[in-house]
Amino acid sequence: MKKVLSVLVLPLAATLAIIYISSCGFQSEPVAFVSATPSTGSTLQQNASITLTFDGEPTGLKVSAGTAITSGRNAIISGPFTPGPLALTLTWDDGSHVLNYTVEGEGRSTDPVTATPERGEVLFYTGEVWWITEAAAEREARTAITSLDSAPGGGIKSHLTHDEDEVKRWMLQTMHNRTVDVLVLYGDVPGTIYPPGNALPDGSVAEEWLETTDGDTILNHADWFFWGGGNGKNQEAGLQNIMDIPGITMWGQDTPMIVTNRGKALTPSLRNFSSDRPFHLDRLEGDWFAELILASNTGDERATRADPVIVRDGNLGRIAIVYQTQDEVNPKGTVAAEIIKNYLIK
Ligand SMILES: [Ca+2]
Ligand SMILES: [Ca+2]
């Protein structure tokens, strides 16, 4: 009997010791800061609230402004905050962290208890172009950049690149950042974001970028979206793979486009013209829908063909086409900037 008892007691004692040691070890892990929403660098309303996430419960949390309520691994800091720059210091038993915000002053609405998100960015790529010369594409891009610089609220950050590797890097950086970013192309697509010859029909950087709830947008001018330039690297399958719509094409040389009411309101520089590669709205499938029709074959929203138009994949990314014309001079840069300033990045 004695022997049996010791056989039972010893493993039990060892198990309890292991549980004790491991629970002590778990409790002594320092709790670290993970993220804040809105993120540091954002602009806030005075009555905003900020949600913090830690990797464990932050005991003894104190904040240098506002009121903090802790709930498990999260904490909510509520205003009012004093207008001007805000360096919000968080301290808790295991550490400290500083978040920097700009709090909007008097005269602005303080009603919503939400924060203004950071603004997205725009990248123009002119390293490969088709149905427009590189020089003309650069001129249009620079016109758009000048216009975006003067957007209300301090301008919209944008830049021009010829480097296809930079396009990929930038897309990876701006993916999943909860802001609408816009890539502008001129009738061709770099292989770094969509491997040529439709080598990656699913999962390319371009497709991944369009499949987050950021609402990121690829805006294309001149030739067919993702056709792939003079060599026709991708042809019809490029757009079809990106949208996952097998039947969609952009055929339609010289299709008259009439500016819609929303077009007149949002893109004052847009005039009636003939599109050579209009979007086929009657071929949209799945969650794709025409979000903003600026000009169409009917001049209204019941159209089957449109250019410029923004189509969107449910609550995910967007494809915009603007002046899909063959070697024609249009105010591509001006109208693109109007769409971005007045609609996509406000
Ligand atoms: Ca984004
Ligand atoms: Ca696909």
What pLDDT sits at residue 339?
98
Instruction: Give the span between the Cα atoms of 94 and 223, in whole angstroms.
Output: 57
Q: Which ligand is nearest to the CA of 121?
A: 1
Contacts of 81 (CB under 8 A, 6+ apart): 44, 46, 48, 65, 66, 101, 103
Q: Are residues 91 and 126 in the same domain?
A: no
Stretch 25-49: mean pLDDT? 80
The least confident of 76-90, 158-172, 270-284, 314-328 is 76-90
Q: Are residues 221 and 90 in the same domain?
A: no
Nearest partner of 52 among 93, 98, 83, 94, judged by Cα: 98
Q: What does pTM read for this prediction?
A: 0.68
Q: Are residues 92 and 226 in the same domain?
A: no
163: three-class secondary structure by DSSP: coil
Q: Are residues 157 and 87 in the same domain?
A: no
Stretch 125-148: mean pLDDT? 98
Q: Which ligand is nearest to the CA of 177?
A: 1
Residue 65 lies in a domain: yes
Rounded to the nearest angstrom, the distance between the alpha carbon of 159 and the centre of ligand 2 is: 28
Rounded to the nearest angstrom, the distance between the alpha carbon of 180 and the centre of ligand 1 is: 5
Rounded to the nearest angstrom, the distance between the alpha carbon of 240 and the centre of ligand 2 is: 7
Q: Are residues 177 and 79 in the same domain?
A: no
Domain extent for 178: 122-344
Q: Are residues 158 and 290 in the same domain?
A: yes
Q: Which ligand is nearest to the CA of 179?
A: 1
pLDDT bracket for residue 260 (50, 70, 90): very high
Rounded to the nearest angstrom, the distance between the alpha carbon of 120 and the centre of ligand 1 is: 7
Radius of gyration of the chain from its Cα atoms, rounded to whole angstroms? 27
pLDDT bracket for residue 116 (50, 70, 90): very low
Strands in 62-63's sheet, in edge-to-edge order, are: 43-44, 95-103, 84-92, 62-63
Which CATH number goes with the domain that contains 45? 2.60.40.1220
**Residues above pLDDT 70, as percent of the chain:** 88
Q: Are residues 81 and 219 in the same domain?
A: no
What pLDDT sits at residue 110?
39
Contacts of 102 (CB under 8 A, 6+ apart): 42, 43, 44, 84, 85, 86
Q: Which ligand is nearest to the CA of 123?
A: 1
Q: Which ligand is nearest to the CA of 207?
A: 2
Q: Are residues 149 and 204 in the same domain?
A: yes
Rounded to the nearest angstrom, the distance between the alpha carbon of 215 and the centre of ligand 1 is: 7
Q: Which ligand is nearest to the CA of 171?
A: 1
What pLDDT sits at residue 98?
84
Give pLDDT tens digits for 274-325.
Answer: 999 999 999 999 999 999 999 999 999 999 999 999 999 999 999 999 999 9
Rounded to the nearest angstrom, the distance between the alpha carbon of 221 and the centre of ligand 1 is: 21
Higher-confidence residue: 108 or 132? 132
Rounded to the nearest angstrom, the distance between the alpha carbon of 248 and the centre of ligand 1 is: 26
Q: Are residues 162 and 68 in the same domain?
A: no
Residue 208 lies in a domain: yes
Q: Are residues 172 and 284 in the same domain?
A: yes
Q: Which of 103, 138, 163 is the last residue of a domain?
A: 103
How many domains is the chain partitioned into structurally? Answer: 2
Q: Are residues 97 and 132 in the same domain?
A: no
Q: Which residues are within 5 Å of ligand 1 (an ion), measured at CB?
A: 174, 177, 179, 181, 214, 216
